[in-house]
Structure 1
Amino acid sequence: MSFIKKIFGSEPKQRAVTQVKDLQINDMISMSDSFGLPSLIRDQQFQVTAINCYEFEHKVQTEWVLSGQSDIELYLSLEVDDKTYLKFSLKIADNDVETLFDLEQFSTVFDEPGNAVLDRLDNSELTLDWSDISYQQQAYAQVGYFHRKDNRNSQLSAYEGKDSGEQFELYTLYNQDENKGIDIEVWQDGDTDVFLTLFRPVTDIVDMYPGS
C-alpha cells in the first residue's frame, strides 16, 4: 500500500474548521436550538457568502456575511473582551426604525456628547426577539473604515486612497445587560445603516464544517 501511495500520492487532507475565527467563504455553521436565540437563528444552518472587515483606530474586526434559508442576510463578528462572544447583526429598514422608536428621540443619538437613551415603542415582525425595551448610548461618531476584503489574508492600506476603505461614523447603544445593542453607521454620502445586534456565547454554534 505504501508503494502505491508513493506512485499515485495520498489524498489531500480536508481542511477542518474548529474555531469561528477560521471561517472561510462557503463554510457552513449550525446553530443551537436554544430558546435564547431569535427564531431567525435558532436551529438554523448558515453559509458564509462573503468576508469583510471594519477598521478602527485600535482594532480590526472581521465580519462574516451569513445566508440561510430565509432571504435575510445576517452578519457575524467576534466581540473579544474578558471572554469572546458571537455578535450577530441584523440590518433593519427605515420602517422598522419608525416602528421601534420615536424618531425625535432617535435623532438625539446624533447630538453631542452622545448620551442618548432610546425607549422601544413596538416591534415589527422582523425585530421581534432582537430588540429590548431600552438602550443607553455608548459610542458617538467613532470613525471607522469598511473594507470589502478579508483582513486575515489582505493588507489594509495605512494611507488614504482607493485601498483605504469606505469611511463612516459609528454610533452604538446597548441594553442594560449589554447582550443586545444598536449599531448605526453613517456614511460620508449621508446614507445611514441601522443594525440590531445580539451577543451570544460561542457555544451557540454547535457545528462548523468546510464548504465545497
Structure 2
Amino acid sequence: MGFLRGLFGKKEAPKRQLDHVNKLLKGDMISLDDSFALPEQLRGQQLKVEAIHTYEYERSQQCEWLLRGHSGTAIFMSYIEEDEAYLSFSLKINRSIVEQIFDLDEFSQLFEEPGNAELKTLPLSNELDSEYARWLSDAYHQVEFAAFGYFHRQDYRGQKPPQDDNNQQRGDGFESYSLVDSDESHAVDIEVYEGGDTEVMLTLYRPLTDIREFWPAS
C-alpha cells in the first residue's frame, strides 16, 4: 500500500470556487473595473476582504464586506437583490466633511418627521472635488426615516444572529435614515446608534460587472 500511495501521490483537495460576490470570505480579494464612472477609491483597485458584518432588520438581513486596498481607505460593500441584483459601495465621511458637502440646516431636516427631506450638494473645493465628486449627486430626496436595526460585527449569512434571554439581539441597535438621487444611482445613508454616535456614508449603486476578478484566499 505504501508503494501505491507513493506512486499516485496524495489526492489534492478541490480548489475553492469563487465566482460570485456572495461567496466572498475574509481574506479573499476582488479587482474592480477601471471605468471613469467609478471614484478613484474604487477605480481599478484590488481590494481585500478585511471583515464581514451583518445588518439585521425586522424582516431581513444584509451582509456587508469591509474592503481595503493599498490606500488603506475602508470601503463597505453589499450585494442587493431586488428586481435585479446590484452592488452598493459606501464610504464613511466625518462631520467636518459633511459640513463642507451639505448645508447643516438642510441636513438636520432628515431627522424631522415625516421624513421627506430634500438635500442639495454644495459646490466642492478642488480638494474635495477630486476625492468625493464621483460619490455625490447634485440633489437627494429622503426614502427612509428612523428604520430600526441591529449591527453585528460577524458574518451571519444563512443563519439567524444570536438572541439573548429577553429576545433582544446582541448587536448594536441603530436607526437608519436614507436619501437617494433621482436616478437611484447615489445615496446618502445615516446610522444613529444608541448614545447618539452617528455615521454618515456616501453610497454608490453599481452593476455586478464592476467586479472584474475574484481571488480566493485559499
Which residue does 1:63 correspond to in 2? Answer: 64
Return the match for 2:143 from 121, 138, 147. Answer: 138
**Partner SS, residue 126 of structure 1:** helix
| Alpha-carbon offset, residue 8 of structure 1 | 4.5
Q: How many residues align?
A: 211
**Distance in 1 between residues matched to 2:34 and 2:15, nearest whole Å:** 28
Using the TM superposition, name which of 36-45 and 132-141 deviates more: 36-45
**Distance in 1 between residues matched to 2:7 and 2:15, nearest whole Å:** 19
Q: CA-to-partner distance for each residue in 1:118-171, whole Å, 9 max, x for gaps?
A: 011133253221011100000000000000110126541244578521000000
1:18-29 mapped onto 2 (5 Å cutoff): 18-29=19-30
Taking only the aligned residue pairs, the percentage that are identical comes to 42
The answer to whether the 8 A contact 1:49-1:67 is kept is yes
Return the match for 1:127 from 127, 132, 152. Answer: 132
The AA in structure 1 aligned to 2:119 is L
| Alpha-carbon offset, residue 33 of structure 1 | 1.1
What is the TM-score with the length of structure 1 in the denominator?
A: 0.93
**Partner SS, residue 128 of structure 1:** helix
Return the match for 1:179 from 185, 190, 211. Answer: 185
1:17-96 mapped onto 2 (5 Å cutoff): 17-96=18-97
The answer to whether the 8 A contact 1:16-1:209 is kept is no
Gap regions ≥5 residues in structure 2? none
The AA in structure 2 aligned to 1:186 is V
The answer to whether the 8 A contact 2:178-2:189 is kept is yes
The answer to whether the 8 A contact 1:101-1:122 is kept is no
The answer to whether the 8 A contact 2:150-2:169 is kept is no
Gap regions ≥5 residues in structure 1? none
1:10/1:187 Cα in 2 relative to 1: closer, same or farther (>3 Å)?
Answer: same
| Alpha-carbon offset, residue 13 of structure 1 | 1.8
The answer to whether the 8 A contact 1:26-1:49 is kept is yes
Return the match for 1:150 from 155, 160, 174. Answer: 155
